[in-house]
A and B are shown apart, each in its own frame.
Chain A
């Protein structure tokens, strides 16, 4: 069997790693806020972060296409800044992925932070730990499983996305042709051997990652109380 072009695989991994990193930075504060706030806006923010779970990816992709397109203020600003369009580029793909995978980062983290509860943080405060200090020295270590789950789900979900990416990024080899789109195209053009190879690769890769994660997860202590 002829080895297919592995470009889409590397692009996909780069996209998933970047999206996971950005979401870790963006999603952690959002999850923390949701887990600790008593604000009336909490349900609204929760609904927004959960939207990508229920919307067809094409809907999300369509609106992102409008918002990121060169005729929108954001898209136009990007063109002025970089001389390239945000749509049909890796950057656009990244923005779409971040929105699309948001719930997979926020929800496990929110659950983990809620499980930690106020108790240990009040204890930390009573020992003179400032809120940020208490967050990094108490809340984060007690939420390790949540972080692992969130990062892996986000990564895996970004690897598997299709609709939103297709809408925003199209199918440009080396720029926006991620693995799922490459497989789709191989099937469309009846090149089943290549489709098969990439699919099997993705399957084995995903399976291996998940097994590793669950194995590591088992060794992490569960903190109760």
Chain B
């Protein structure tokens, strides 16, 4: 199993919730405890109640019943008629659509937060946020003239400046196109290491979840269906409802062996097997890189292929075959020793290659995503 050692947490508050809310026909009923010293992803298909859960935590859903507390602060206890309004909860909320105040400039939006933040000890300073998110050129701009990615950066900065004890990110990348996502992602990755604010990250993208979150909570139909370290949860994602839409993925960790300046590659060691990926300048030799491998990017072969442009071929054994009659694709779990890979192949290939549990197999990795964060 990949190690998911907890990040050293500065404020190990425990978010405890046991809440129910009815919104029209939809009923959300979730209970859980989240150690908020880290980044936790809330993952699930659309309509599973991810955003509703965040809205309940923030205090935006008035009809919620149950109990909710962060550390010693009780925010909701419907039995005792306690419902702390949103503006008295120390949470920062980043919305999908930024929600900047259009009558203020970039700086005006940031100052709106600094003026109202209550914490005596301001742990996040204005200059620090401007620096971390490269906001300097945006300060004097009207928000209407900002691009989608720029708006999200200002929104993130504004949220940080409200000195939250808990950061709620509600699909902050969902409204952006792919290049803009790539523009924001590095900032989000740097967020927790730099500011150390416990974060809940709502997403329906396996990639984002795997890159950003230490732990993952899966919501389906308004209920928690899985919770645990991200690598474990993603690997055991229930294939039927989720895989087609999201593409299951696995997370593996590999040690940096050397950087190749000539071809701009970094060589990694994955439990004795060699991998090469586009150069990871930010990691030194000997450091651990976290890789996200999506099932659809993994092909299988029964012998080591030659004359192929794919460089990364890993030898393993079939651990499990998940297939269902009447469908096109099957999922194969490949055992690589301490790690598992998921491969999505057609059922026809599965039968032609005669893959069974225990068969030796070569996994061809078409691409991997890399977490910038050190694992």
Q: Which residues of A contact B (CB under 8 A)?
A: 119-120, 122-131, 133-134, 137-138, 141-142, 221, 223-225
Contact = CB atoms under 8 A, between A and B. Distances in A.
Contact of A130 (B87, B93, B101, B112): B87
Interface stretch (B113-121, B269-277, B306-314, B350-358): B113-121
A141 B103 contact: yes
B3 to A, nearest CB: 35
B35 to A, nearest CB: 23
A217 to B, nearest CB: 16
Contact of A126 (B97, B102, B162): B162
Contacts of A119: 95, 97, 99
Contacts of B118: 128
A122 B117 contact: no
B101 A123 contact: yes
Given A119-B97, A221-B103, A223-B102, A126 B91 contact: yes
B99 A120 contact: yes
B101 A126 contact: no
B340 interface: no
Nearest to A223: B102
A184 B95 CA distance: 59
Interface residues of B, number: 26
A138 B112 CA distance: 10
Most buried by B among A124, A127, A221: A127
Contacts, number: 69
Contacts of A127: 87, 112-113, 116, 158-159, 162
B274 to A, nearest CB: 48
Contacts of B102: 142, 221, 223-225
A134 B87 CA distance: 10
Interface of B: 58-60, 85-88, 91-93, 95, 97, 99-103, 112-113, 116-118, 144, 158-159, 162
A134 to B, nearest CB: 8
Contact of B95 (A123, A128, A138, A142): A123
A156 to B, nearest CB: 27
26 contacts: A120-B99, A122-B58, A122-B95, A123-B95, A123-B101, A125-B59, A125-B87, A126-B86, A126-B91, A126-B92, A127-B113, A127-B116, A127-B162, A128-B87, A128-B88, A128-B116, A128-B117, A128-B162, A129-B116, A131-B85, A221-B102, A221-B103, A221-B144, A223-B103, A224-B144, A225-B97
Contacts of A221: 102-103, 144
Contacts of B91: 126
A125 B93 CA distance: 9
Given A122-B58, A127-B158, A128-B88, 8 more contacts: A119-B97, A124-B87, A125-B59, A126-B159, A127-B113, A128-B117, A128-B118, A129-B87
A138 B87 contact: no
Contact of B112 (A137, A142, A225): A137
Contact of B85 (A123, A125, A137): A125
Contacts of A128: 87-88, 113, 116-118, 162
A137 B60 CA distance: 19
A115 to B, nearest CB: 12
A122 B93 contact: yes
Contacts of B103: 141-142, 221, 223
Contacts of B59: 125
Given A127-B158, A130-B87, A120 B60 contact: no
Given A128-B116, A129-B87, A131-B87, A123 B162 contact: no
Contacts of B60: 122, 125
A145 to B, nearest CB: 12
Nearest to A133: B116
A124 B59 CA distance: 13
Contacts of A129: 87, 112, 116
Contacts of A126: 58, 86-87, 91-93, 159, 162
Contacts of A223: 102-103
Contacts of A120: 99, 101
A223 B158 CA distance: 19
A90 B29 CA distance: 60
A141 B101 CA distance: 10
A129 B104 CA distance: 15
Contacts of B162: 126-128
Most buried by A among B60, B86, B118: B86
Contact of A125 (B86, B97, B100, B101): B86
A68 to B, nearest CB: 40
* Interface pairs A-B: 9 shortest CB-CB: A125-B86, A126-B93, A123-B99, A128-B116, A223-B102, A141-B103, A125-B87, A127-B113, A127-B162
A137 B104 CA distance: 10
A196 to B, nearest CB: 46
Contacts of A125: 59-60, 85-87
Contacts of B158: 127
